Structure 1
Amino acid sequence: MSHVVVDQEEVPYVKTKAKLEDAILQGRIKQAARSCKELNASVHADGLYYLNSSRGVLYQTFCDMTTAGGGWTLVASVHENNMYGKCTLGDRWSNQQGSDPNRPDGEGTWANTVTFGTAESSTSDDYKNPGYYDIAAQDVSVWHVPNNIDLEQWSATSILRYHTENHFLNLYGGNLFYLFKKFPVRFGLGACITDNGPAIPIVYDTGNVDYNKNLYEISTPGFIAFRVFNTERAAMALCSGVKPTGCHIEHFCIGGGGHFPEAIPRQCGDFTRWSASKEITEAAVLLFYR
């Protein structure tokens, strides 16, 4: 079910994008919500809803109306389709054309407006919607959900869930698109530790500090860290649940630029050279805004 504003009153409405677009053309819909946070005042059920970008692009996504008061908009998922593929087809959050120093940004997905996938398939494939770059947000929420799980079971089956609550995105343009404009995920742009981006404290919803500590070494649990570099100056986008204290970030961070020099292409890919458990490597990483 999608949710829109009809004749200035918020009501559940049409189930398909085609019918929604027809209603807009007929003038029956005055405004569609920009985010799940806007819907949260009158809608309290988790599920799929239609939102409208600032440029009038309609899209369907998942709203988490439960966690920490609700109002969380799913904007992206990072799904590893092949741990043995190193920057191959499907590595949209790093480089689909191999490890290449001539493409230091790789696909550039973390800081561009390219969209792909569907919300419903977020645990089976990569996903990115217009909300990723369009929504003005203050905080993020992250879910690690086992691959190929139906959306009705995402929350219950998550192996790790957490959110920020210090409104850190206010300092970085209001969403991850602008954060990564400030901290580009680009090979060779910086050095390990010295040039890493921000590390933000988190509040656990599923899992805890001990769980994160057991998953990853050379890191401090209880944070989400952005744009980090390894020893060879390869850039990675996001370290989930931890702040790196060493340089071998390829073992536990996700997404990246276009080139990973060590033992090319061993470390290249959305989940790079992960050393974590099968449980965590076979789970999609879902990103939410509020």
Structure 2
Amino acid sequence: MFYGPNPRDMLYLTLLFSVVLVLVEDASLTTLQIENFISENEELAHTEAIRDVEMTQNLTRTNFEHLVKLSNRSSYVARSCKEIRDRYNEHEDGLYYLTTANGMVYQTFCDMTTAGGGWTLVSSVHENNIHGRCTVGDRWTSQQGNDANLPDGDGNWSNRNTFGAAEGATSDDYKNPGYYDIVAEDMSVWHVPNNFPLQHWNMAAILRYHTDNHFLRLYGGNLLELFKQYQVRYNVGSCMNRGPAVPIVYDHGDRESTKMLYGPSARAEFEPGFITFRAINNERAAMAICSGVKATGCNTEHYCIGGGGYFDPIQCGDFPSFEYDKLGGQQGWSASREMTEAAVLLFYR
């Protein structure tokens, strides 16, 4: 088997070549000068090799110490990121372990810096195929197709199913036990471009905002209880018979930037600066969440997400009709590519 040249031999050949060049340029050099030249360069190469080894050892040691620190988080006992922040004085964003009231341990992402920190990631809505029309991957509407016999679709807004992994929340749909186990007061929402790695979510988000009026106290403390009160299903009545619209505080972005992420036709029938629940459209299908806007019209499928499992055929999906006129074209009713190709991350505190 051929292993290639020995590094030390290569170093010697390089030095020898350098000496020959020097001899050509100055034939008056003595043997002693040549030997000193070789010795000095060998010493320099040896010093650099030692420094490279030390840098590798320091990097390995740093990574190991960091992994130990992350592993120690598994010893924390808390039901939310807020409890971890308050009880263990943690203020670093990242993955942590939480425990449900029944003792189930799971891992999720904690935002420990926004507005005082303590935000628990409980779910993400990710559109894997904007043209899929309620197919595999549309967990927040229906993976079973657009079926009138299944008006609630998969029903994951109002059940205890869980799926996905926190670290992949921008690459697939995600829902953990905190969605129904945590009793919270407020929500935070991040819109993060698809497939971005966890350590860059905060900086990459096109929008980040949160509520601060403790509205979840009125609805049982989480989205499971809220949607039990406001069933997300087909044939629910007038489009004006929608759920609560809650004002938001922007952490990144503003009302104008929110507005411009949607198509010009959609902008005429919503007010930015809110998060709205159970917004019903003209076809009497209820969207789950209008993230960043309050619906004032009835074409909510163009700027709201999620919902039931029975829509107009061209509306069915987790992002029901965001590409109605042209995918990413921001024409007519179509949302921008930035919005269509970003996962919606939902947090509690």
TM-score by length of 1: 0.89
Give the structure 2 partner of residue 185 of structure 1.
232
Task: Measure the CA separation in 2 of the matches of 1:175 and 1:44.
Answer: 24
Q: Give the letter aligned to residue 258 of structure 1.
A: G
Q: Which residue of 1 aligns with 2:71?
A: 14
The residue matched to 1:212 in structure 2 has which SS?
helix
Choose from 253, 265, 281 the match for 2:340.
281
Task: Among all aligned residue pairs of Structure 1 and Structure 2, give the percentage whose two residues are the same amino acid.
Answer: 64
Structural mapping, 1:242-253, within 5 Å: 242-253=293-304
Question: C-alpha separation between the residues in 2 aligned to 1:72 and 1:46?
Answer: 10
Match for residue 270 of structure 1?
Answer: 318
Aligned with 2:231: secondary structure? coil
C-alpha distance after superposition, 1:111-162 (max 9, x if no partner): 1000000000000000000000000000000000000000000000000000
CA distance in 2, matches of 1:276, 1:95: 21
| 1:40 corresponding residue in structure 2 | 85
What CA deviation, in whole Å up to 9, does each residue of 1:41-68 have, x standing for no partner? 2100000000000011100000000000
- Partners of 2:148 and 2:287 lie apart in 1 by 15
What does residue 209 of structure 1 align with? 255
User: 1:111 is paired with a residue of what secondary structure?
Assistant: coil
Q: Kindly indicate which of the two structures has a greater share of residues assigned to helix.
A: 2
- Aligned-pair CA distance for 1:15: 6.3
Alpha-carbon shift at residue 190 of structure 1 (Å) = 2.4
Report the secondary structure of 1:14's partner residue.
Answer: helix
Kindly state the Cα deviation for residue 254 of structure 1 after the two structures are TM-superposed: 0.3
Q: Aligned partner of 2:247: which letter?
A: P
String of CA shifts for 1:228-277, please: whole Å, max 9, x gaps.
Answer: 1100101110001000010000001000101113xx2x100000111210
Is residue 196 from structure 1 mapped to residue 253 from structure 2 by the alignment? Answer: no
Q: Does 1 or 2 have the higher relative contact order (CA < 8 Å, sep 6+)?
A: 1
The aligned residue for residue 5 of structure 1 is none
> Which residue of 2 is the match for residue 260 of structure 1?
311
Classify the secondary structure of the residue corresponding to 1:154.
helix
Q: Name the CA distance, whole Å, in 1 between partners of 2:162 and 2:112.
A: 24
Q: Is the 8 A contact 2:261 2:338 kept in 1?
A: no
> 8 Å contact 2:307–2:318 — kept in the other structure?
yes
* 2:177 matched residue in structure 1: 130
Secondary structure in structure 1 of the residue aligned to 2:282 = coil
AA in 2 matched with 1:203: V
Give the TM-score of the pair, scaled to structure 2.
0.74
> For residue 233 of structure 1, what is the aligned residue in structure 2?
284
Greater share of residues in strand? 1
Look up the SS of the partner of 1:117 in the other structure: coil
Matched residue type, 1:215: L
Cα distance in 2, alignment partners of residues 47 and 250 from structure 1: 33
Cα distance, 1:12 vs structure 2: 5.5
CA distance in 2, matches of 1:55, 1:198: 30
Q: Distance in 1 between matches of 2:72 and 2:129?
A: 33
Question: How many Å separate the matches in 2 of 1:84 and 1:51?
Answer: 36
Aligned to 1:8: none
**Residues of 2 paired with 1:166 and 1:188: CA distance?**
31
Summarize the Cα distance change of 1:88–1:157 in structure 2 as closer, same or farther, 3 Å threshold. same
Aligned residue-pair number: 264
SS at match of 1:284: strand
Structure 2 counterpart of 1:14, which letter? S
The corresponding residue for 1:101 is 148
5+ residue gaps, structure 1, are 1-10, 21-28
Unaligned 5+ residue runs, structure 2? 1-67, 323-333
Offset at 1:13? 6.5
Is the radius of gyration larger for structure 1 or structure 2? 2
Following the alignment from structure 1 to structure 2, what is the Cα–Cα distance between the partners of residues 213 and 282?
A: 16
Partner AA of 1:234 in structure 2: A
